[in-house]
Structure 1
């Protein structure tokens, strides 16, 4: 630890040099080895506490100096093995340079993740660090340095999107950068898995406090997802020349081109397999983390398109998706898409799939953000001819019951789904029209003897049984819902719905759907994303052939006629009594006035 006198001397040294002096010190360092003492001075300037212009000037000089010295610098863990004094002194000098180079790298990373500097300086610092990644390991990719850079970006307290975007636009096009990015992300995810980062007080490898770097685990997970989602997935190619490398030198490039004719296809295939393996391990490790809800939803939405096609074995995500499907609510709706892909394309067996799907049918699903994709998947899941009759009947009945509780565009979707269910499963067409049965006698209730109907008790029992619906909407098991003993009486209300598209779609159920040659399935995707705006727009643009008009032979004297409310009476007895009493009171008052007038006339 530096003493106060040394710290004051360092601050004084940093402040007493301007840009011109720093430029002079840099030129002297590059021109003569006798000016090696300028190196510590320039290193003190590369610090988050220095002005940006001073950092940039020192950085350029140090970058040029270390590029020429890197080929002869020993590793950080090397030990002296030379016997003579000349070699010993040279090794000590090179070891000192190596320590200064490590100090320079640490200062660059601190400046890179600092919130005090603008994007221009950060871009220069990142380019410098990536140049060292390219050449600092003897011409091969410096994976440990790149791991430190990526780890510092992801664990930074400030916004990391700009730096990740820089990596995406400049360096993620190189296959070796992508390869080691997946390796670094896997290591970071495994370090975060199963431990509370905020309680970890151990020091990291670069001397920084782990609790300070990872004080907010949610921001770390957000940055990791932003990084892994921006790395291009593994590509399929039969030519190694299609894979551009960041750390390959000119000599290595010529050597690769000379070997291209012999083992080109084999090396390209092997490289693609390795990339796919690292891609799979990185995603598996990341999905084990406690994802925040917003990241969780975004991962589930994009998983089947952005991740599944590039995994070595997509079945490895079955545990993650089944756990997500068991959560319920919106998370289950989002997990349904990927789980359906695993079942249809990769042979995943999930015994309770339809029970969970049946539980998702609630009124709130018709207002969800991703309801369009959900209804399309629901229609696809109910398409199989091997679906049991009780299961198809339960879905049809529950959907028809929900038509009484959802907005008009939801009823529009329900009628389309019920139409497809009835057409694909003729065994449940008995739900369309079913007369009530007396369970005790096995005869229809409308065939009960007239003598029984005259009996008040027997008549009351028959009327009660004629209104029974055996379907239990609160039952979670479709087998026990009683849908096969019910009917789709709720759909009949949609025929008289106030919304024209809903009533028109319900009319399609009046046709005989068992004749499959004359009917066809309704495309649920056309109506699954419907809303009040789409319904209003379709009605406004719809051409109307006939406009209903009302003609009256005589001018109406009231808003409603008596024929509009047959059997109704609007006469109130209390009102008539009040009016009669008011008329009697007015008559008595008038008689009093007349008698008073007669008395005045008699007196005169």
Structure 2
């Protein structure tokens, strides 16, 4: 009993004693981080410093280290991993019981963690102002890992991971893309794997996310991804900026465009590569492979549900930035025909690329003129891209093999629009009709039609003064344009805008005499507006100025015949205005 009580007192005494305080952790300095790196590089005995240095590269909202700590740790880890990468196993390799194998597998896992940290830092929003220089260092380190991380070959998995995070990032995508454009897109293999990464990203992530969820927030994020993808694709310089006989500059050419068997056979024969760096095929073969990846990336992108602003931007530049570099431009026919069938501004924008496929790549599109005829509305004369549309319209109607009814339908439709369009549109219409009449002499009867042209039966069925043209008819065979006339153009002789009334006089010439007439350049009028017409008028030198003169000096602004029943008195009559008003009212009552 005494022993138990003594033990209790002893325990109570120990519990009542205050606990010893732990020694606070020493605050780390930059010299400590440098010392960790120097130890890691000096011997394997300090391999445990590796995870300590990696901790400085984890960007978290709660813990943030000074940029000097991050930079010092980054440089030490890069110096440690670079010489070891050719000897490390792959990320999926399983270690054996050999201690050296276990060590190398562990180091490989830390390298993968190092790459993950670099990707996270590159898209992190923690860099602002002067810290943007650190982002550039992070990107350079990451690209070095891409260069040598796969046993000396281009590490496409790391690069895909970086491209994916860059496209999914909201704020930092533009900054990273500008760095890529300025420093790395000049290398042909960087562009090659960028196309591969974008195609893989679209097929794996973007399409699945857009198909699985259809909430408003998901749709908004999906549209942002599509915009970022288009931004990246539009920033990649085309291959043809370099000549076919020039040597393409590569970031790492090992095994990118050549097969390993070809490279090994060349090494066995002892033949040295003539090109700089490695065994690289001819520029024509590189161009062929690049076009294939370019085509796959763009066709995958065009299959996405594009936002309307991206859709318009793509259609405007498609014929210049995409079609010339596709392996087979005819693969765009489905996309362009769908766009052309939408109508409105989208159809106007799609016409340029569709016209190129028809004239240069053998695309047959029977409904071209039907859709083109449907686009002739008053709104097209004030559209943003009307200039290119009118030039293409003139080109589509250039062939002399067009049937007369089709040319007459377009001429009559344009002349009817001349009654409602602005003056600039009237100038374009006169130019288009001028070219139509000159190219197709069979429709010159629309300018001056005699009564004896019609058969007796037709004359009996047609009332005088009735236009037989069906303006709302969509079938060009049933518009009855050949039975009408261009009377609307005749009304433009008295147009309030002098340039329009002057330009109509060109249609009075006999346009069937091709030797004495020339076609009008539609591009000179296609982009006109009120401002351009006014500028041309004030620059114009007027030979004759209309003057007004009178045999006798007028005593009033208006004559009495203009206002019957009213009388006008000058101020010389000393009558008040009230008396004049009273007299005028009395005269009106008497009448």
Q: For the residues of structure 2 that align with 1:557 and 1:478, how far apart are their CA atoms?
A: 61
Please give the per-residue CA displacement for 1:342-368, whole angstroms capped at 9, x wherever unaligned.
111111100110000000001110111
| Residue aligning to 2:81 | 66
The yes-or-no answer on 1:369 pairing with 2:384 is: yes
2:340·2:347 contact (CA, 8 Å) conserved in 1? yes
2:424·2:533 contact (CA, 8 Å) conserved in 1? yes
The counterpart of 2:434, out of the listed 419, 424, 427, is 419
Please give the per-residue CA displacement for 1:572-599, whole angstroms capped at 9, x wherever unaligned.
9xxxxx978736999xxxxxxxxxxxxx
Q: For the residues of structure 1 that align with 2:94 and 2:320, how far apart are their CA atoms?
A: 51
Please give the per-residue CA displacement for 1:488-531, whole angstroms capped at 9, x wherever unaligned.
11111211112121111111011111111110000000111111
1:214·1:220 contact (CA, 8 Å) conserved in 2? no
The yes-or-no answer on 1:305 pairing with 2:314 is: no
2:333·2:354 contact (CA, 8 Å) conserved in 1? yes
Matches within 5 A, 1:247-286: 247-248=252-253, 258-260=272-274, 267-286=282-301
| Residue aligning to 1:231 | 236
Aligned-CA RMSD value:
3.5
What displacement does 1:133 show?
A: 0.4
3-state SS of 2:339 partner? helix
The yes-or-no answer on 1:183 pairing with 2:193 is: no
Matches within 5 A, 1:212-361: 216-235=221-240, 239=245, 242-248=247-253, 258-260=272-274, 267-361=282-376
What displacement does 1:102 show?
A: 0.9
2:30·2:68 contact (CA, 8 Å) conserved in 1? yes
Q: For the residues of structure 1 that align with 2:371 and 2:46, how far apart are their CA atoms?
A: 75
Q: For the residues of structure 2 that align with 1:162 and 1:266, how far apart are their CA atoms?
A: 34
Q: 1:156 to 1:213 in 2, by over 3 A?
A: farther
| Residue aligning to 1:109 | 119
The yes-or-no answer on 1:488 pairing with 2:486 is: yes
What displacement does 1:68 show?
A: 2.4
The counterpart of 1:134, out of the listed 123, 147, 150, is 147
The yes-or-no answer on 1:96 pairing with 2:114 is: no
The yes-or-no answer on 1:391 pairing with 2:406 is: yes
The yes-or-no answer on 1:30 pairing with 2:28 is: no
Q: For the residues of structure 2 that align with 1:438 and 1:275, how far apart are their CA atoms?
A: 62
Q: For the residues of structure 1 that align with 2:137 and 2:416, how far apart are their CA atoms?
A: 63
| Residue aligning to 1:458 | none
What displacement does 1:260 show?
A: 3.3
Q: For the residues of structure 2 that align with 1:440 and 1:557, how far apart are their CA atoms?
A: 61
What displacement does 1:18 show?
A: 2.9
1:76·1:98 contact (CA, 8 Å) conserved in 2? yes
Q: 1:304 to 1:257 in 2, by over 3 A?
A: farther
3-state SS of 1:139 partner? coil
TM-score of the aligned structures, taking structure 2 as reference length: 0.83
| Residue aligning to 1:514 | 512
1:198·1:217 contact (CA, 8 Å) conserved in 2? no
The yes-or-no answer on 1:164 pairing with 2:177 is: yes
1:400·1:491 contact (CA, 8 Å) conserved in 2? yes
What displacement does 1:20 show?
A: 2.8
The yes-or-no answer on 1:504 pairing with 2:502 is: yes
What displacement does 1:159 show?
A: 4.1
> Unpaired segments of 5 or more residues in structure 1?
1-11, 83-87, 202-210, 446-460, 573-577, 587-604
Please give the per-residue CA displacement for 1:393-452, whole angstroms capped at 9, x wherever unaligned.
11111111111111111111111111111111111111112356899955879xxxxxxx
Please give the per-residue CA displacement for 1:27-77, whole angstroms capped at 9, x wherever unaligned.
222223222222111111112232333322221221111112212221111
Q: For the residues of structure 2 that align with 1:267 and 1:195, how far apart are their CA atoms?
A: 38
What displacement does 1:571 show?
A: 5.5
The yes-or-no answer on 1:149 pairing with 2:162 is: yes
Q: 1:344 to 1:125 in 2, by over 3 A?
A: same
1:436·1:466 contact (CA, 8 Å) conserved in 2? no
The yes-or-no answer on 1:582 pairing with 2:580 is: no
1:419·1:522 contact (CA, 8 Å) conserved in 2? yes
The counterpart of 2:395, out of the listed 380, 395, 403, is 380
TM-score of the aligned structures, taking structure 1 as reference length: 0.81
2:565·2:588 contact (CA, 8 Å) conserved in 1? no
3-state SS of 2:444 partner? helix
2:404·2:440 contact (CA, 8 Å) conserved in 1? yes
2:96·2:102 contact (CA, 8 Å) conserved in 1? no
Q: For the residues of structure 1 that align with 2:220 and 2:380, how far apart are their CA atoms?
A: 37
Q: 1:426 to 1:257 in 2, by over 3 A?
A: farther
2:206·2:225 contact (CA, 8 Å) conserved in 1? no
Q: 1:539 to 1:215 in 2, by over 3 A?
A: closer
3-state SS of 1:540 partner? helix
Q: 1:257 to 1:497 in 2, by over 3 A?
A: farther
Q: 1:212 to 1:40 in 2, by over 3 A?
A: farther
After the TM superposition, which of the residue ranges 152-161 and 356-365 deviates more from structure 2? 152-161
What displacement does 1:116 show?
A: 2.1
Q: 1:548 to 1:80 in 2, by over 3 A?
A: same
Q: 1:570 to 1:165 in 2, by over 3 A?
A: farther
| Residue aligning to 1:453 | none
3-state SS of 2:304 partner? coil
Q: 1:73 to 1:505 in 2, by over 3 A?
A: same
Q: For the residues of structure 2 that align with 1:283 and 1:148, how far apart are their CA atoms?
A: 20
What displacement does 1:167 show?
A: 1.1
The number of residue pairs the alignment matches comes to: 534
Q: 1:361 to 1:559 in 2, by over 3 A?
A: farther
Q: For the residues of structure 2 that align with 1:137 and 1:514, how far apart are their CA atoms?
A: 73
